[in-house]
Structure 1
Amino acid sequence: MHRAKPLARIIKSQRSPAWPTPPTRDLPPKHVCDDLVAAYLRTMETLYRVLHVPSFQHAYDNMWKGKSESNMAFVMMLKLVLAIGAMIYDDKVCMRADAVRWVFEAQTWLSSPLFKSKLGIQYLQISILLLIARELVDVGSELVWISAGAVYRAAVYVGLHKDPSQLPSTTALETEMRRRIWNTILELSLQMSMGSGGPPFISSDDFNTAPPSNLDDEQLLEADPIARADHVYTHTSIAIALRKTLPARLAVLRFLNDVNSSGTYEETLRIDSDLRAAHKLLRRTLHAYTSHTSSSPSQFTLQAVEFIMQRYVTCLHLPFFAPALKNPVYAYSRKATVDSSLKIWNMAYPNASESSRRPSETDFVRMCMCTAGFFRMYTFHGSTFLAAELRMRIQEDEGDLDALPSSLNNIVDDAANWYLRCMKAGETGMKGYVLLRLVGAWIDAESHHVDNSDLPALLVGAAEDAAQVCIPILEALAGCEEPRPGAAGMEGSGMEEFDFQFSPEFTEDWDMLMSGTFSLDDAGVFDAFVS
């Protein structure tokens, strides 16, 4: 860790331009921009509606044709779209530095003290794209919950919390874009509340804006468009379907994050029942889209929706997961956490034997592997919960270990390999890989009935081996021509004088949501891995 932290700082400093970063009109070649825009439109835009795609595409085409110089607001919007698309452009995220620069430019542009004159739908579109880009590109991703609150208040300031039907006559495009933008802000408020552990700060009593209408983007150019039937899939159907589950998901976050929450197990079970009912209705809706219409959601969209819903199940039962490993009263939470984690993991890391394509060739797998924030964070969490379950089953000496799903039997090695791919794609932290290798050593020792007195040496060896794997990757990302002597191991790396007390620096890039499962007890052992 003593060697890895400076390397991580070097990598991040090399990616980050000087602040402030004046906005420019510089763009990659058109064919590259086309690919990045397409990557954004087929992924995040299908979940969180931000753009009116025909209007955006028209302005984009005119920009390349040189008919007129695009205003800087559109250029900033485009660069954020490019930044998000760049994160799934290739397995190694070769355009990460460009994506970081584009985010910095947009942040600089939005930071102008004359922002009041910019307030409007386009300002909110750029603000939303900036939130998404900061999280996925990892530009202050741990603080986006704070910025999401500012975007929410800006939307209220311009009246998006009031349904357009209460406003003077507006066009169909204006009406639906206001509803879409408000709906997306609600979704991001929930998502970032989950990631930060902070309250969502929204209530159904604070707004009366209706969900978006079931209309395709092209219909919004008509004078008086007629919404499609509920079972007909349109560009907005996913946003509408998710909106119906919002009360159940909001209840989960209030239960977990509000200071006045009861936190009782009875309340957990009641919320779980409501969440599963909402999830069941959502699945029926998605099934109708795929069964009865010529147009249907993409594989990415279906997987992302399921990932989101499964994560709420995991979050709800997580507080009782570690106690459930010792107390059968919470057995349902243990099963719910394991089942949802398996579904999350199998989507993010599909078994090669079950897929005709390599995992890296799907948009969703790349989203979980190459980006920061929501998708990668909860993929890692899912793998560690499964590792805890595997260790517990071995400790319980169940006789049917061979009958376990292959994804559970191989979870530690698969998760460690996945994490290395994350690092090669640009992740600068190695603590996740070290943890997985420590857990793997612990499970191996447990399965072979190793004496407890030999366990410390095994764990130290596993940590050393993990460092030997990770440090060269970080050195390559940092551009070191030659590894420093002893950098791959402990000798000469400063580890012999390292203070193993947890300092703020040590934990600054460690997601503390994991502390409930992997906290240390008085004996210095992980509470989720002891009986």
Structure 2
Amino acid sequence: MDHLANPRHQLSDFDHAAPLRRRRPAVSCIECRRRKVACDRGNPCSNCVMRKATCKYRRQPVNLPSPVLPPPVLPTPSTVEHCDTTASLPSVGHSDEASVSASQIADHGVPNKVVSTKQSSLKTSHRFTKGRIFGQSHWMNKLYRFVEIHRISLNCYFDDTSDTYKLQDRCKRLAHVLKGPHTLEPTNRQIGDIDIKSLVTSRAICDQLLGLYFGAFNPIYGVLHKPTFIRELDAYWYGDSVANEIFLSKLLLTLSIGTAIYSGPDAKSLRKALSVAASDVVLTRQAWQCVPATKHALTEDTLQVSLLSLIARQCSSISVGGENVWITAGTLLRTAMAMGFHRDPIHLGRISIFKAEMRRRIWYGIVEILIQTSLDNGQSPLLATEEWDTAAPADVDDENLAEDMLSPPVSRPLDQFWTQSTAQCALVRSLPLRLRIAKDLNGIQSDLSYEQTLELGKKLNDECLANSKLAGPCKRSSLDLDELRQNLLQLKLVDTLTRRFLLSLHTSFSQKSIQDPAFYFSRHVCLDSALKIWTYVTPTRLPSPSSPNLTHLNNRQQPSTSEAQDEYTLLKLRSCGTFKSIFQDSTTTVCLELTQRLLEDPSIAFSGFLHGRQLMPPMLKELHEMVKDSVGIHKGRIWEGETNIKGFVFFATALAQADAMIRHGGKGAVQGDFGDDRIEQDLLQAQKKGFEEALRILESLVAETEAGGVKAGKDENLRTKSYGDGKSRHSGAGGIREDSFSDLSAPTEQEPLEPLFLRSSELSGDVLGPWFYMDFDTEGLT
């Protein structure tokens, strides 16, 4: 037994073991294998012809000659447990059917723990589909673990006569109609021709929106100097001077960003009006980047407009590629480097103290948005700390920074005072560590061991603890309740943008903890991080569905936009890009933990069945309530204008899965036994109910749009056409749809709908392939 503790002996036994046997290749079509019926191997087969199903066969992997490998190198104990590599398995389109049973492992005399660790290091961590690659930190990689939810969704995909299929089709059509009036198309109007005063209607609302921007987002990214901006606004508003295009662009973008957390009168109409106007700025700025840069375009002002455009695309209703900000952020970074922002101003000659401080703020704002979007897209930030020497910005209020100042400002200690720059300084403090984590997670050659993960996680957890200590100066420096509310929101965002790296760092090992208890600490860290990101209260006291901020989200009626709500909740409801990715990641983590706990201890589920969910263990009950709250948030996102209803349906089905496990004693879990037809019927019913509820919301929004004077299919920005071939066409600006529908009830010939969730290539084994988003490629799964 002593040799079991020595990894050298373990690998030696594995190397001398007999070759593992492989299963015979599948010859039946996917549909017949799913239904477990005999297949005549036709193309199409008779069963698929009778059921009017798509008949496809799995492609067999090409047998390549084995490469000549160098002599094996005995690893040290620190290198036995490694994270996922990126090139050890075929792409997602080719499923490897090799499987090793427990009896085979026992026959070879290899400990289960070693084999599990060895196999986990061979599992691919990047997924390639439709010309895009999703790296290890991309949150959607977790959705591959919802095996049973994806499995039952195949009924919706193959059976075009089912009610669920028709509901999904109807929702898709209504979503296209709603996209029409709000589609961002270039209007060919000049920025100077936009009458901002008529859009905002009053200076009071303008000041309120600007207060939300400067109270939440500007302290994070440090884009604008508030006193200077307010002076320019006064000159524009009261007609003392003619505003230039640069200032109007800044004003439109800041107002649009402010609407993301605005809950005052006419919030929805105000967001729509400002988002359309701000989209012209975004599209104009994108056009600037498509032409050769001139010396007139390379200015600090243009960098500020570009950075504001990236923020607006992620936290407001602007739908110009909010999921692809990482691409534009890379361009902006190189533009800033071309202008010398990566060098500290002391190396650049005679620059005023004010300009030097603003350059530092803008540089770290660009780097911050780059590494955040790097984690969103699962891509490397393509930047190293050795490539800049810009000093951290000073921790001072904007009022203490003037254009004519002659001496540098005195930076205050972070743990004693809270200023308008404290949030950015706190993020800069952990920036090198977070940059390294983003590179280690998504780098092509990254090879992160578990020991390295624990080391990085400890350092990052120390940074999170240091951020939590800022609550003291945050409260002491607040003069009134409004200022305290803003400062606490800044502290929430700082902790969120930092802690999400801790969640991504431990995710891959958390998934391995199901088979190997040695990684259980990572599972605990992921759950703790997800709870804190979602709630920001003590993890044992989550908000109940009856909370004032969440009540209307769990009801069927439309929420009141004038109802005062917490800004953090509003960010969950309206954001896209980075903030949406963070909330989706935390929600998915909690869903997985809930179902996994019910699977591991069926007695807990049975206790909930006998005595009700209220008598379940407190932690399990809180997880259930959080998933329920997240379903309400996703429903609220549809009310707020999001036309992709699949997130709501997915998490509603995940909640139904947990409820079914409670009723039926823990069956039907993430990777568990799915032999109970009652659970399958529960999930199918929940999926159908989710589509019905989403359909009611979309119909209400269409009726509201038509009542407002914008008729579906008749707006000037819409080109009326039938559904036809089912393919979307795009204009030249940012991949914007042009298709709409003239008659939703008319029968049309169309391509089969994409699967709502993952399309399974086999019933027994891991589900491979993309989940329910339409931009995933499913051709490689056959």
Q: CA deviation at 1:237?
A: 1.6
Runs of 5+ unmatched residues, structure 2:
1-167, 552-563, 605-615, 668-674, 713-744, 769-782
* Range moving further from structure 2, 136-145 or 18-27: 18-27
Aligned to 1:324: 513
Amino acid in the other structure paired with 1:103: A
Counterparts of 1:195-274 in structure 2, within 5 Å, are 195-221=376-402, 222-230=405-413, 231-274=416-459
Q: CA deviation at 1:155?
A: 0.4
**Residues 90 and 176 of structure 1, relative CA distance in 2, 3 Å threshold:** same
Amino acid in the other structure paired with 2:763: A
Q: Distance in 1 between matches of 2:451 and 2:688?
A: 44
**Residues 317 and 445 of structure 1, relative CA distance in 2, 3 Å threshold:** same
1:174 pairs with 2:363: no
**Is contact 2:453-2:506 (8 Å) kept?**
yes
Amino acid in the other structure paired with 1:4: C
1:306 pairs with 2:495: yes
**Residues 350 and 49 of structure 1, relative CA distance in 2, 3 Å threshold:** farther
Q: Distance in 1 between matches of 2:753 and 2:549?
A: 43
1:25 pairs with 2:217: no
* Range moving further from structure 2, 441-450 or 106-115: 106-115
Question: Deviation per CA, 1:388-447, whole angstroms, max 9, x where unpaired?
Answer: 211111122265642326431323322211211111111111111111122122222222
**Is contact 1:390-1:408 (8 Å) kept?**
yes
1:364 pairs with 2:364: no
Aligned to 2:663: 448
Question: Deviation per CA, 1:490-529, whole angstroms, max 9, x where unpaired?
Answer: xx89999984664xxx68xxxxxxxxxx89684279879x
**Is contact 2:549-2:569 (8 Å) kept?**
no
Q: Distance in 1 between matches of 2:748 and 2:662?
A: 30
Counterparts of 1:86-165 in structure 2, within 5 Å, are 86-90=259-263, 93-110=268-285, 111-112=287-288, 113=291, 115-116=293-294, 117-136=296-315, 137=317, 138-165=319-346
**Residues 329 and 154 of structure 1, relative CA distance in 2, 3 Å threshold:** same
Amino acid in the other structure paired with 1:101: V
Q: Distance in 1 between matches of 2:652 and 2:524?
A: 24
Counterparts of 1:37-52 in structure 2, within 5 Å, are 37-52=210-225
**Is contact 1:217-1:235 (8 Å) kept?**
yes
**Is contact 1:4-1:474 (8 Å) kept?**
yes
Q: CA deviation at 1:199?
A: 0.9
Q: Distance in 1 between matches of 2:597 and 2:447?
A: 31
Question: Deviation per CA, 1:230-250, whole angstroms, max 9, x where unpaired?
Answer: 133222122111101011111
Question: If you compute each CA radius of gyration, which structure gives the higher value, 1 or 2?
Answer: 2
1:79 pairs with 2:260: no
Aligned to 2:178: 11
* 1:261 alignment partner, SS class: coil
Q: Distance in 1 between matches of 2:487 and 2:546?
A: 19
Aligned to 1:513: none
Q: Distance in 1 between matches of 2:660 and 2:542?
A: 28
Q: CA deviation at 1:80?
A: 0.4
**Residues 270 and 519 of structure 1, relative CA distance in 2, 3 Å threshold:** farther
Give the alignment partner of residue 534 of structure 2, picking from 315, 336, 345: 345
Question: Deviation per CA, 1:104-129, whole angstroms, max 9, x where unpaired?
Answer: 21124322447521211111000000
**Residues 80 and 436 of structure 1, relative CA distance in 2, 3 Å threshold:** same
Q: Distance in 2 between matches of 1:186 and 1:417?
A: 34
**Is contact 1:83-1:103 (8 Å) kept?**
yes
Q: CA deviation at 1:223?
A: 2.3
1:67 pairs with 2:271: no
**Is contact 1:107-1:130 (8 Å) kept?**
yes
**Residues 288 and 345 of structure 1, relative CA distance in 2, 3 Å threshold:** closer
* Length-normalised TM-score, structure 1: 0.87
* 2:261 alignment partner, SS class: coil
Question: Deviation per CA, 1:264-303, whole angstroms, max 9, x where unpaired?
Answer: 323322221221122223333x145236646677121111
Q: How many residues align?
A: 507
**Is contact 1:46-1:238 (8 Å) kept?**
yes
**Cα RMSD (Å) of the superposition?**
3.1
* Range moving further from structure 2, 4-13 or 164-173: 4-13
* Range moving further from structure 2, 357-366 or 3-12: 357-366
**Is contact 1:16-1:97 (8 Å) kept?**
no
Q: Distance in 1 between matches of 2:759 and 2:459?
A: 30
Question: Deviation per CA, 1:157-194, whole angstroms, max 9, x where unpaired?
Answer: 11101100112222221010000000101111111111
**Is contact 1:194-1:253 (8 Å) kept?**
yes
* 2:269 alignment partner, SS class: coil
Question: Deviation per CA, 1:133-170, whole angstroms, max 9, x where unpaired?
Answer: 11223321111110001110110111101100112222
**Residues 57 and 524 of structure 1, relative CA distance in 2, 3 Å threshold:** farther
* 2:409 alignment partner, SS class: coil
* 1:427 alignment partner, SS class: coil
Aligned to 2:596: 392
Q: Distance in 1 between matches of 2:565 and 2:235?
A: 32
**Residues 525 and 65 of structure 1, relative CA distance in 2, 3 Å threshold:** farther
Considering Cα pairs closer than 8 Å and 6+ residues apart, tell me whether 1 or 2 has the greater RCO.
2
Overall identity of the aligned pairs, in %: 27
**Residues 183 and 429 of structure 1, relative CA distance in 2, 3 Å threshold:** same
**Residues 474 and 264 of structure 1, relative CA distance in 2, 3 Å threshold:** farther
Give the alignment partner of residue 290 of structure 1, picking from 474, 478, 484: 474
* Length-normalised TM-score, structure 2: 0.60
Question: Deviation per CA, 1:73-118, whole angstroms, max 9, x where unpaired?
Answer: 1001100001101122228633332233223211243224475212
Q: Distance in 2 between matches of 1:438 and 1:496?
A: 29
Amino acid in the other structure paired with 2:183: S
**Is contact 2:209-2:259 (8 Å) kept?**
yes
**Structure with the bigger percentage of helix:** 1
Q: Distance in 2 between matches of 1:519 and 1:328?
A: 30
Q: Distance in 1 between matches of 2:701 and 2:274?
A: 16
Q: Distance in 1 between matches of 2:426 and 2:546?
A: 29
Q: CA deviation at 1:61?
A: 0.8
**Residues 61 and 277 of structure 1, relative CA distance in 2, 3 Å threshold:** same
